[in-house]
Structure 1
């Protein structure tokens, strides 16, 4: 009889590690003045990016329908993280852009993730964490962040 855990535990542990980090991130973001930001909002803000995008392209990047993307855009616009602007190259087209509040939330998120990584390094040891990250890169490829997770999880 093997002492190895069942195979299904690996993806659940990876997802739980993700969840632990994301929950801690959002608790700290709330403490730093961004209490309304939800995990899916991070994907949306990243997909809009510093250069902005259209609603159609946003849906494509997130792997969701234009309608699902619009729902998140409406929420983030109400919360002051996104704005709609006229495309300077085509007045009929609207661009989605990050507001200063949106940029601030992303900058704070990056700093908080660095702090959380440092905590993991303190707990696990720097060498073990570096090895874990290297092993995950080996198994998952070179792209660390896929924006289409909301669509993959069934978000639209």
Structure 2
């Protein structure tokens, strides 16, 4: 029988292998500076953009920490700040074409990585694994604040 600590370590190792392979491929495809925490932030920005305060709430970090992340992503060309059309006093953080490109490429790479698991384990085992994880993960378990949780 496996020890209780093995399951979370194996789940994390599987996650880590996906993320490491994703970033290796992104680097080859012209995105060498994007980091795992950037992916969470870019997802949190979304298609419509967000204020820095909202970004902080979505990521589970302070407005100041979110601002630093925005500055970093802005320097790398993944986001831009623009006036909020609904409120001229606010600035929105929006994806640039480069930011949208890295998210699109990530989605394609994730599909390819999943396909590799299907080739190795079989479609039924991968589907069973996904179904079992969905059953065990709380309804709000898929949150974008994972990067801040690891950093705490």
Structure 2 length-normalised TM = 0.96
Choose which of 70, 77, 85 in structure 2 pairs with 1:73.
70
For each residue in 1:25-84, what CA deviation from the matched residue of structure 2 results, as whole angstroms up to 9, or x when unmatched? 000001111111000000000000000000000000000111111111111000000000
- Corresponding residue for residue 126 of structure 2: 129
2:61 and 2:45 mapped to 1: Cα distance? 14
Instruction: Find the counterpart in structure 1 of residue 151 from structure 2.
Output: 154
2:110 is aligned, of 106, 109, 113, to 113
> Aligned Cα RMSD in Å?
1.2
Q: Which runs of 4+ in 1 moved over 2 A?
A: 141-145
Q: Who is 2:41 aligned against?
A: 44
Alpha-carbon distance in 1 for matches of 2:85, 2:136: 43
Distance 1:70 1:146, change over 3 A: same
**2:90 aligned counterpart, secondary structure:** strand
1:100 aligns with 2:97: yes
Q: Secondary structure at the match of 2:151?
A: coil
TM-score w.r.t. the length of structure 1 is: 0.94
Structural mapping, 1:1-40, within 5 Å: 4-40=1-37
* Pairwise CA distance, 1:144: 6.4
Deviation per residue, 1:105-130 (Å, 9 max, x gap): 00000000000000000001111111
- Provide closer, same or farther for how the CA distance between residues 120 and 143 of structure 1 changes in structure 2, counting only shifts above 3 A: farther
Rounded to whole Å, the distance in 2 between the matches of 1:22 and 1:105 is: 14
Gap runs ≥5 in structure 1 = none
Q: Which residue of 1 aligns with 2:82?
A: 85
